[in-house]
Chain A
Amino acid sequence: MKLRLITPAAALLLFCAGAAALAVEVQDLRSVPAITGDAQAGATKAALCVACHGPDGHSMVAAFPALAGQNATYNYQQMLQYQSGQRVSAVMAPFLASLSDADLRDIAAYFAAQAARPANAAASAQATETGRKLYVDGDPARGIPSCQGCHGVNGVGMQPAGPNDRVPWHSFPTLAGQQGDYVAQQLRAYKEGARGGTTSAVIMQEVAKTLDDAAMQAVAAYIAAH
């Protein structure tokens, strides 16, 4: 469902007098159902994916995102976005062009079934301390929210509060085992507005705007270690 949305920046932060209101088309992901798929079939269909995303979804290259343990619904939605061109990637688009909807679901289910593994387990606690603080508590002084609130402890994702919980936790990505560089890259993409177009993305855009480069690096380092 396409909706119009005025970016909140202008009306919100009144002291930023220069910000003008932008009208943006936004895809509504708030009510997306959790997808199901055949992980077994997905294993076969994901054969092409492992070249970049690594066996079992543990990516070897820092710039390519790990997919192991990623929320199936999130994965599915991202693949749809690549297919439709909403998320632009010259690399991903051809891979996904020929896949059917059932294929996407199966692939997503396959990766969701894999176990996540820290990309950089060797990082010392001291080195990731700044990132840990940001991840767990955020930084109220700079308006940085805690990542843990939506992405879960150590990035494993959140479970709904109860049967009446309407927040689509299943569509938010897990961060456990994710590549640090990739995380930093995406945060930058959110901040600059290169990545957007969905209700979840708009939230991430606002979050990313609170982060400066150093903060992004710190968080990325922490995520990489977990």
Chain B
Amino acid sequence: MRLCFFRRRGTDARPIRRVSALLALALLASHAHLAQAAAPAPTIDLPATNMSGDTSVYREISADLARLAASLPGDGGVAENPGAPGATPIGTATCSACHTQEQLLYSHTTHARAFAAGSGGASAVGSCESCHGPGSLHAGSPTTKGAIISFTHEGGTPVQTQTQACMGCHTGGARQHWLSSVHETRGLSCSDCHNPMARGSPEGLMAKRSINETCAGCHQDVRAKFNRRSHMPLPEGQMSCADCHNPHGSVTKPLLKTDTANGTCYGCHAERRGPMLFEHPPVRENCMNCHDPHGSNQQTLLAAPVPMLCQQCHTAVRHPNDLQTPAGLANGGAPDERLISRACLSCHTTIHGSNNAAGAKFHR
């Protein structure tokens, strides 16, 4: 969490302003505590928090910088809000005078603590305006929509402004491919899934109580599939949608983290990776040829019952292509191992590939 404001798109690279930003907040919030007498701050642009990384160095020179900041104008590290031209930052303390409860809930979140620490701990919890943009117009007229970056429904701020506010710091990494990703083109804002104003989920500052609940808000059908007879342990809380998918965008459809779908599966099922001496082509090419990753009414996440699934590709001579009827069940008139229990897999057991010289047909 550092130096994120330096890359605000469109703002000038004016390091001195950032220095002043950092210090001005120290000044602003610790008015009664700062030992050095601060120079009277001009009431024009009061910069918001800055995130200097090197906190120890900062603390040492904080007094000098405080004096420096006081005399400098600048907009520091606040989010850009094209909907509020001419607005200037007013600082966290001003916001929290009215937004008390919000500030209380927010103070225990990652952002608040990180911002507070980034300024050497000499300020209060982090700057509201780093995300919400400069607040002077909003403070003067809170009913004007768009005067402050609002991340909620009917807030009046375009989604693009909202996402750019977050991406100011959070670009790159898992969000390397955000632009033109499916969630982005469908007009989702970061705040559709995340709620950094309070810590409601153990990971990721989600909008609901967990990653899974958040995804299920829109993807109810996929979540319902996990309740089927065979499924991976997502409903039991052992894994999340984000274990396989990267909702922020990826180069592999559908939003997978690895080069291929199989690569994702191998993340937990490395035993299938091989490569094997004898491969089964649909297995090597795509696990989804046979399996449904979210949930299935068949055993082991298969997309169709065995042996029928196999019979959709195999019509070779003799035993694969016969129609199986209930007479072939264990208590039927002519029990048939090609139908009972594991069916084909009773004999073709190493179906994912075999490393045995006699495993060409996956018997061994």
Contacts and interface: CB of A to CB of B under 8 A. Distances in A.
Asked if chains A and B come from one complex, the reply is yes
Interface of A: 5-6, 8, 11-15, 133, 136-146, 148-150, 158-162, 164-165, 167, 169, 202-203, 206-207, 209-210
Contacts, number: 118
Given A139-B43, A145-B98, A207-B98, A8 B143 contact: no
A24 to B, nearest CB: 12
Contact of B91 (A11, A137, A143): A143
Given A15-B123, A149-B139, A161-B143, A143 B93 contact: yes
B143 A159 contact: yes
B30 A144 contact: no
Given A15-B30, A143-B28, A143-B29, A137 B142 contact: no
25 contacts: A6-B104, A12-B103, A12-B124, A14-B124, A15-B123, A15-B124, A137-B136, A138-B94, A140-B91, A140-B94, A141-B41, A142-B93, A143-B28, A145-B97, A146-B139, A149-B142, A161-B144, A162-B154, A164-B154, A165-B143, A202-B100, A206-B96, A209-B97, A210-B93, A210-B94
B56 interface: no
B199 to A, nearest CB: 13
Given A14-B124, A145-B90, 11 more contacts: A6-B104, A8-B100, A8-B101, A8-B104, A12-B124, A12-B125, A14-B121, A15-B124, A140-B94, A143-B94, A145-B94
Say whether chain A's binding surface is mostly helix, strand, loop, or mixed.
mixed
Contacts of B154: 162, 164
A10 B97 CA distance: 14
B51 interface: no
Contacts of A145: 90, 94-95, 97-98, 139
B140 A137 contact: yes
Contacts of A139: 43
A128 to B, nearest CB: 17
Interface in B129-158: 136, 138-145, 154
B144 A207 contact: no
Nearest to A161: B143
A203 B99 CA distance: 8
A140 B127 CA distance: 13
7 nearest CB pairs, A to B: A143-B93, A161-B143, A140-B90, A8-B104, A140-B46, A141-B41, A146-B139
B186 interface: no
A136 B140 contact: yes
Contacts of B7: none
A163 to B, nearest CB: 10
B31 A142 contact: yes
Contacts of A15: 29-30, 33, 121-124
Contacts of A158: 142-143
Nearest to B154: A164
A152 B41 CA distance: 27
Contacts of B41: 141
A11 B108 contact: yes
A8 B97 contact: no
B143 A12 contact: no
Contacts of B89: 140
B68 to A, nearest CB: 15
B107 interface: yes
